[in-house]
Amino acid sequence: MMQIKPILSALRRHKAGTVLIALQIALTLAIVCNALYIIHERLAHIAEPTGVDEPNLFAMANLWGEQYTKQQAAAKIEQDLITLRQLPSVADATPTNGYPLRGGGWDNFITMKPDQVDKTTDAAVYAGDEHFLRTFGLKLIAGRDFNADEVRDMGLREAVTPPVTIVSKTLADRLYPKGDALGKSFYSMSSTPITIIGIVDTLHRQDVSTWSAPYKGQSLIWPLRLAQPMGVFYVVRAKPGQLADAMREAPKALYAENRMRMFPAKDGLVDYRQIRQEAFERDRGMAILMGVICVVLLAITAAGIIGLTSFWVGQRRRQIGVRRALGATHRDILHYFLTENLLISVGGVAIGTVLAFALNLWLKQNFALESLPLIYVLSGMVILILLGQGAVFAPALRASRVPPIEATRPA
Amino acid sequence: MFAYYLQLGLRSLRRNPMLTTLMVMAIGFGVAASMITYSVFRAVSDDPIPNKSSQLFVPQVDGWGPQQNDNGEIPGALNYVDAMALMRAHKASRQTLIYPVMLSALGRDADSVPTSASGYAVTGDFFPMFEVPFLYGSGWNADEDDHRAADVVLTQEFNQRMFGGANSVGKEIQFGGNTYRIVGITKHWNPAPRFYAVWGEDGFSEAPDFYVLLNRMLDLHIDSSGRNSCRGNLTFTGWDQWLQSNCIWLMPWVELDTSSEVAQYRQFLTSYATDQQHAGRFGWPANVRLLDVMAFLTQQNVVPPESRISLIVALCFFVICLVNTIGLLLAKFMRRAGEIGVRRALGATRREIYTQYLLEAASVGIAGGLLGLLLTAVGMSAVTLLFDAEIAQLAHMDLSLIALTLLLAILATVAAAFYPAWRAAQVQPAWQLKSN
């Protein structure tokens, strides 16, 4: 084991350099482990399952070209669905108010009692008919699907509260933690109870932003068809391998049937690859930016350590020569510099840990970030100590090659 | 002397290419990261209407009460009843009410397929209030608001799409199956953030297609295509009942030119809310707010958190690069202690040594700044990878950003050199000469 005392007294003569390296390691640790954690959070968000059959689905934002009444809109939708379902490449189609990851969307407060003021929780609301589950490919794990006669039309600004609903498992467990939600009821901005007739495994919300994070995966489906003047979304499930065909044929068939409609240029016709792309644009951007910053930061810190240590080695050639002349081996000199760096790194890492948690606390207060798990700080520590040792290795090796004859030369 | 020192500096930089490269790269990367994120941050946090932002206000009235509003925060928009009451009272020199609509537009060709057009239902004051620039024609006046005229103002972009850019004022256009008279064509105008409609929108979308008369839209029951937020049990069964509900969806704006007008309007809002309490409509004491443009944008959290976090992380990154530079400069300068000793012995003052080394650092700063500029330019083209397309396109390199990049690089490097240069100036000539 190397003697630490002489190293410490040598460092005392290089206070500024020592402090600078330690500070750089500390700051790097603070940034890197927070950045890594942000990357992890964002990637986890991106990886959230939607519960739907993404590879075979696409959505059409069908806006009406004329102001339809409720009855007219309902009849048009009926006709459109027949057209869509008849297409050879289409497995099924459903009219709805949105789809998972669309962003924004309809959400309702949920309460357990009709007169309850504070909400129990919040759920994303999907309006779907008896084809909704089949089209989306949702997995019904308890209860039953809607019957065709349960589905009602919902006109302009009609607050309809259907008596039955199918909920996601996450919502069912949130409302009835014992797992006995089926057949039970709740309230949602209305004085009439809603009975849970079915539970689906996973159904992501429409929204992907931070505000809805506490209600992640809490969705409910109401047997409703939006017969509104503005329009409706059609979600279409293509037969396996025929997505491109279906996406080409569907708008064409609908236009042929009734040309007074529009599919907006932006998001008018999208498959799930594009939906995911848009929903997680910001998350992916953050992850990339943080990744780039981490890599460059570590490279710069390593370069800084190499630079300063090389300088120290150059400055101490004579002293190294003396030690070599007095019997120190190559290995002793190598160890000296490695140990010196280890001491500085440990100091830096210790300060860095405090800084990392301070930065995390600040991010938490301002940006709704979660607490930094210890594992990130620990791995950050290991990374930085290894980085320091790796960076110092080349100059240290050079130092160990200083010949004893240097002792006799003037510095 | 200055030129000579700079020359010395450059020569010394060449003598030690590895250390120099390291420093230049550290400064370059640090500055570039800060500048790229800053350019985005600047774009999203800018004042969208700088010469009027302190005269335009959003009146807010809490129609939900302490039990149902968002933790005491006043809702960001108004319900129909309160919005109409404020408009009728007309206590401001100019006032408008806004909601987003989406309509099908049909050109002259009867066989054409309709295209979707998005716009805003507004009142006539909208145009002079927000200083909307016109290419042809103008907006409409309060009379036409009252007469519920079928007037529409198209944007330059939409006029290009529908009429090939010709002066189409006086022509007719079909929206949602109804005919409208085009009274004006605006020049390109899309403030970022789109402060006037930021509630329920992200504020950075493409320019709208048209502005249409609000009263007309209400008469035709044209639904809002934007956000609608309600509380409590929903009992409305159609348009008219919905208008009377507590659902908020209308964006009010007033123009108040003096501070006394502001004070008076605030008072009016309070008395309005108090009256509502006395009338039994509100079961809570007056809770009102009058926010100017920047305060409203802050309240609505327009700056995406990603933009803030990345700027902060980039700045921290720059600080680390500077700490790195301090260390490298120290190493570089102290390596030349012998040289400094000779110069000192030959009569150079400490001050001269200090100046020389600061200048040497400045030349590193210049090189770092140039590299930073290059990296910023490269990074700008990759900004679309990091932020939403709408936001990324707002970030751009202009003269002020270039100047800021260079200035930041040079100043930061010189600041980083203070301590190393001071150490260099402290070198004792006698010591160095003796050991040599």
Question: Searching chain B, which residue's CA lies closest to the CA of residue A23?
Answer: B323
* Cβ proximity of B169 and B185 under 8 Å: yes
**Pairwise CB contact (< 8 Å): B305 & A67:** no
Of B369, B82, B97, residue with least CA distance to B251: B97
Contact list in B for residue A229 (CB cut-off 8 A) is 221-223
Give A21's contacts in chain B (Cβ within 8 Å): 327
Residue of B nearest to A210 (CA): B305
* Percent of chain A residues past pLDDT 90, beyond the cut: 74
Kindly report the nearest CA distance between residue A125 and chain B, in angstroms: 14
Residues A290 and B310: their CA atoms lie apart, in Å, by 8
Q: Which residues of A are less than 8 Å from B235 in CB distance?
A: 159, 190
Q: Kindly determine whether residue B326 and residue A307, on different chains, have CB atoms separated by under 8 Å.
A: no
* Residue tagged 């570590």 (tokens): A298
Task: Give the residue from A113, A260, A311 with the most B CB atoms within 10 Å of its CB, the best one to mutate.
Answer: A311
For chain A, say whether B305 makes contact (Cβ under 8 Å). yes
Token pair for B170: 């006086």
Which of A155, A261, A304 comes nearest B324 by C-beta? A304
Q: Per-residue confidence at B435, pLDDT binned at 50, 70, 90?
A: low
User: DSSP secondary structure string, A316-385?
Assistant: THHHHHHHHHTT--HHHHHHHHHHHHHHHHHHHHHHHHHHHHHHHHHHHHHH-PPPPPHHHHHHHHHHHH
Residue B325's contacts (CB-CB under 8 Å, 6 or more residues apart) are: B23, B26, B27, B364, B413, B416
Chain B contacts of A161, Cβ < 8 Å? Answer: 234
* Residue with the two structure tokens 């397309």: B389
Which of B348, B369, B370 lies closest to B414, judged by CA? B369
A35-50 pLDDT, tens digit each: 999 999 999 999 999 9
The alpha-carbon gap from B263 to the nearest alpha carbon of chain A, in Å, equals 32
B371 token code pair:
């590299």
* B232 inside 8 A of chain A by CB: yes
- The whole-chain average pLDDT of chain B stands at 91
Work out the number of other CB atoms within 10 angstroms of the CB of residue A69: 12
Question: A189, B305: Cβ pair inside 8 Å?
Answer: no
Q: Which of B33, B104, B242 shows the shortest C-beta gap to A63? A: B104
Residue A310 φ then ψ, to 5°: -60, -40
Diameter of chain B measured on Cα atoms: 99
Distance of CA B113 to the CA centre of its chain: 37
Residues 242-301 (B) with a CB less than 8 A from some CB of A: 242
pLDDT in tens, B284-319: 999 999 999 999 999 999 998 889 989 999 999 999
Q: Which helix (H) or strand (E) holds A38?
A: helix A15-46
pLDDT of residue B259: 95
What pLDDT does residue A94 have? 97
Q: Are B165 and B211 in contact (CB under 8 A)?
A: no
| Interface check B239 vs A, CB under 8 A | yes
pLDDT in tens, B96-126: 999 999 999 986 665 678 889 999 999 999 9
When pLDDT is cut at 50, 70 and 90, the band that residue B436 belongs to is very low
pLDDT in tens, A251-278: 999 999 998 899 998 889 999 999 999 9
Indicate the residue of A65, A114, A282 with minimum beta-carbon distance to B114: A65
Q: How confident is the model at residue A410 (pLDDT cuts 50, 70, 90)?
A: low
In terms of Cα–Cα distance, which of B155, B175, B150 is closest to B165?
B155
SS (H, E, C) chain B: CHHHHHHHHHHHHHHCHHHHHHHHHHHHHHHHHHHHHHHHHHHHHCCCCCCCCCCEEEEEECCCCCCCCECCECCCCEEHHHHHHHHHHCCCCEEEEEEEEEEEEECCCCCCCCEEEEEEEECCCHHHHCCCCEEEECCCCHHHHHCCCCEEEEEHHHHHHHHCCCCCCCCEEEECCEEEEEEEEECCCCCCCCHHHCCCCCCCCCCCCEEEEHHHHHHCCCCCCCCCECCCCCCCECHHHHHCCCCEEEEEEEECCCHHHHHHHHHHHHHHHHHHHHCCCCCCCCCEEEEEHHHHHHHCCCCCHHHHHHHHHHHHHHHHHHHHHHHHHHHHHHHCHHHHHHHHHCCCCHHHHHHHHHHHHHHHHHHHHHHHHHHHHHHHHCHHHHCCHHHHCCCCCCHHHHHHHHHHHHHHHHHHHHHHHHHHHCCCHHHHHHHC
The interface pTM score, or ipTM, of the predicted complex is 0.87
As a whole number of angstroms, the distance between CA B367 and CA B364 comes to: 5
pLDDT tops 80 at residue A283: yes
Give the model's confidence band at A189: pLDDT under 50 very low, under 70 low, under 90 confident, else very high: very high
> A64 to chain B: nearest residue by CA?
B104
Strand partners, B56: B255
Whether A297 and B242 lie within 8 Å, measured CB to CB: no
Q: What is the pLDDT of residues A107-122, one digit of tens each?
A: 999 999 988 888 999 9
pTM, full prediction: 0.89
Among A31, A268, A368, whose Cβ lies nearest the Cβ of B317? A31
pLDDT (mean) for B385-398: 84
Q: Work out the burial of residue B319: count CB atoms within 10 Å of its CB; fewer than 13 is exposed, 13-18 middle, 19 or more buried.
A: middle
Contact, A237 vs A56, CB < 8 A? yes
Sign of the alpha-carbon dihedral angle for B307, B308, B309, B310: positive
Tokens of A50: 């939607």
Break chain B into its structural domains and give their ranges: 2-47+304-435, 95-253
Secondary structure of residue A136 in the 3-state scheme: helix
Residue B429, preceding peptide bond in cis (omega within 30° of 0) = no
Through-space distance between the first and last CA atoms of chain B, rounded to whole angstroms: 28
The H or E element that residue A169 is part of is: helix A169-175
* B396: confidence class by pLDDT, cuts 50, 70, 90: confident
Residues of A in contact with B67 (CB under 8 A): 117-118
- The single-letter DSSP state of residue A145 is P
B400 burial level (CB within 10 Å; 0-12, 13-18, 19+) = exposed
